A and B are shown apart, each in its own frame.
Chain A
Amino acid sequence: MQITSPSFKENSRGALADAQLQKALGNVRAGFIDKRLKAVEALPEFDLLRDNARAIKDHVLAHLDLYLEAYEKKVTESGGHVHWAETAEDARRIVLDICRKANARTVTKGKSMITEEIGLNDFLEAEGIRPVETDLGEYIIQLRGEHPSHIIAPAVHLNKEQVEADFRRVHKHLAEGRDLSEPESLLGEARSVLRSEYFAADVGITGANFLVAETGTSIIVTNEGNGDLTQILPRVHIVMASLEKIVPTLDDASQILRVLARSATGQDMSVYTTLSTGPRRPGDPDGPEEYHVVLLDNGRSSMLGTEFQEMLRCIRCGACMNHCPVYHAVGGHAYGWVYPGPMGAVLTPSLIGVDKAGHLPNASTFCGRCEEVCPMRIPLPKMMRHWREREFERGLNPATQRYGLGLWAFFAKRPRLYRLASSLGIPVLSLLGGGKRRFRYLPLAGGWTKYRDLPAPEGRTFMQQWRDGGASVRARVA
């Protein structure tokens, strides 16, 4: 997909002016936060589970090669195939080869963010293979030619009236006068349209929430059951997963599952938790004849051993963006690539380069709410700051910022000069504030005064008054 992260500022201005989007974003604030809090409060051991979840992933990341090899061995033993994809291009080619061998014309897809990351849909379409998204949100945005704006609620930027209009536009074979005013009727219509696609599909592609090393099992969680139909009905099942999805045991996966849905949607568990291990065995009532796993690196292994390694603990619950004031303001598309919000602000520069994604780790107030709710205790603000350090080292931030900061730092490092300059400048600025004691406009402070008044300094600085004051200061204090 086209990367628009470099124009994050323009993207966000557009988002702020988009009334439909702003209305839809109101639902993020209302929908996710309270439900998560309720689910977390109902589970006294939640914080302990977070500690365990973090420890499990830290252990895996320290021994990733061993677990990946163990996983591959188990998959092979169960009759499946593991394909290693270093780059997005490798992954696309592997999927295409499998599809070609299966003479595939239609591919159904369960929800998978890494197929967004590698741009799989556009690629398959260009090769004459029709991808059909089966997750309701993904289905909707596919109809619209858009990309997900949220990692678990891809169409959260839309209102139901917009979806109704899309369905009427695309589902021409259905009665014009049908009632689509309720979310349930939209869901019902999508289900009935998708039903025939499941049976027509030659290949089903799903993502993976976990890959289990001890059994060679892949696990997906969904609320619609679309993942099950996608992976059971076609002749070939392809699991698309990135390296860091691995966990050692089924027990480990179930521990992390206990924090995943609670953090994501406030559910104790997602409606469906589906495990698949290899292709259909003799005597199995259903299942695919071929089972493939494409393991994608695409830059992740280069995060190992760096200050960004902890990002690989992420389980894609979306809690960070659900609680982010910046995400609430501009939505997911403004971030300009696949992963929005705080997790995207850390991950995107790792995957597409900080020269392109430099705005993302800067567009944070460091309010810390993301880290507070992250089930894997990923220190997101700290890692955004690390990206800022990398940008600063490479001189990637704008010259005006660098000069301003340099000038300020020159004084901040020299207390005497700082004292002298502030004792001269501040009283003048205070006088300029006039009777209103504030500025509606101030040169060089346009970013501030565009939207707010700037309070004027009270008068002389505290340090001036403290040094000179003596008795008068005491008198004021008393």
Chain B
Amino acid sequence: MLDTKTNSAPKVGLFVTCLVDLFRPSVGFAAVKLLEDAGCVVEVPPAQTCCGQPAYNSGDREDTRAIARNTIEAFEGYDYIVAPSGSCAGMLKKHYPLLFKGEAIEQQAVEFSNKVHELVSFLVDVIGVKSVSARHEGSVTYHDSCSGLRELRIRSQPRALLSSVEGLEIREMKEADVCCGFGGTFCVKYPDISNAIVGKKTQNIRESGADTLLAGDLGCLMNMAGKLQREGSGMKVRHVAEVLAGMDDTPPIGGGRN
């Protein structure tokens, strides 16, 4: 399964992402398990915080650059940098080099970005994982988060691995590729519009008939989970890595006593 020329296990630096670190560590542990099962050695550089998107998308370029420099330095020496989020991986991979155009650090940023991958596409496209040994009784519907879909072309990879999970049935929702209305700070800057968008999304989710909603980005998942719960839906919401790693014994996102 490994493709390294040296025959040694690839050394992966896990970019945990701030939301997983703070809100849902389970996703981080699921990512570690999936990577280790695929033969990688996983380390978690302690000097990481956030990819910088809140600053970047608010027009604060200087703070973004400072955060990006920290991140690039923190992840020196790894074969790969993997994040359980298409949005954060997209930021590291596609946007970091643009922040340092024409500067001495640009080459370093490009080399860094070449090593960055989103978790599930890394497993499938880079390592060549074709199936996982996990079991999940029930039906799931998968939301394609925007950055992963459009910046990193993640669409078939999670579905391929999910179809190898025993007992799991995929029920596609309508407009799975349409934004959920999260958009980072957008959802608090324009709550009324965000609500209209996520309301359409949860309708499509419920109409899929699945009992569990999966996606690859915790921001989108928290938005959709929060809306479903406000609507009184009993839909369970999880990060796709939790199901692929067979670690679905924790309570779902925002799920507790009603």
To the question of whether A and B form a pair in one complex, the answer is yes
A residues engaging B (CB < 8 A)?
A: 9, 12-13, 16, 325-326, 328-330, 362-369, 371-372, 385, 387-393, 397, 401, 405, 408-409, 411-413, 415, 418-419, 422, 426, 433-438, 440, 445, 447-448, 450-463, 465-467, 473, 476-477
B146 near A447: Cβ-Cβ < 8 Å: no
Q: In angstroms, how far is the closest chain B Cβ from the Cβ of A399?
A: 13
Interface of chain A: mostly helix, strand, loop or mixed: helix
Q: Can you name the residue of chain B whose Cβ is closest to the Cβ of A414?
A: B49
Q: In angstroms, how far is the closest chain A Cβ from the Cβ of B192?
A: 5
If the complex has contacts A329-B197, A401-B189, A477-B33, are A409 and B63 also in contact, measured as CB distance less than 8 A? Answer: yes
A462 near B16: Cβ-Cβ < 8 Å: yes
Q: Can you name the residue of chain B whose Cβ is closest to the Cβ of A456?
A: B254
B22 near A422: Cβ-Cβ < 8 Å: yes
Residues of B within 8 Å of A9, CB to CB, are 190, 192
Kindly state whether residue B257 has any CB partner on chain A within 8 Å: yes
Residues of A within 8 Å of B63, CB to CB, are 405, 409, 412-413
A447 near B187: Cβ-Cβ < 8 Å: yes
Q: Bound complex: CA of A408 vs CA of B212, how far in Å? A: 33
If the complex has contacts A437-B254, A437-B255, A458-B250, are A413 and B197 also in contact, measured as CB distance less than 8 A? Answer: no
A447 near B189: Cβ-Cβ < 8 Å: yes
Residues of A within 8 Å of B191, CB to CB, are 447-448, 450-451
Kindly state whether residue B24 has any CB partner on chain A within 8 Å: yes
The listed residue (A326, A372, A435, A477) touching B193 by CB distance below 8 A is: A326
User: Please, could you name 13 A-B residue pairs with CB atoms under 8 Å apart, sorted by A?
Assistant: A12-B190, A367-B146, A388-B59, A390-B59, A413-B66, A435-B256, A437-B256, A438-B256, A452-B226, A453-B229, A456-B256, A457-B22, A458-B25
Q: In angstroms, how far is the closest chain A Cβ from the Cβ of B215?
A: 14
Q: Bound complex: CA of A477 vs CA of B242, how far in Å? A: 11
B28 near A405: Cβ-Cβ < 8 Å: no
Interface stretch (choices B50-58, B127-135, B155-163): B50-58
Residues of B within 8 Å of A467, CB to CB, are 46
Residues of B within 8 Å of A418, CB to CB, are 49
B29 near A13: Cβ-Cβ < 8 Å: no
If the complex has contacts A385-B59, A412-B50, are A329 and B196 also in contact, measured as CB distance less than 8 A? Answer: yes
Residues of A within 8 Å of B24, CB to CB, are 455, 457-458
Q: In angstroms, how far is the closest chain B Cβ from the Cβ of A371?
A: 8
Interface-centre pick from B23, B66, B257 (highest chain A CB count, 10 A): B23
Given A16-B192, A433-B256, 16 more A-B residue pairs with CB atoms under 8 Å apart are A326-B190, A393-B59, A409-B63, A413-B67, A415-B47, A437-B255, A438-B255, A445-B188, A447-B189, A450-B195, A457-B24, A458-B23, A462-B16, A462-B20, A462-B28, A477-B33
B186 near A325: Cβ-Cβ < 8 Å: no
Residues of B within 8 Å of A371, CB to CB, are 150
A397 near B58: Cβ-Cβ < 8 Å: yes
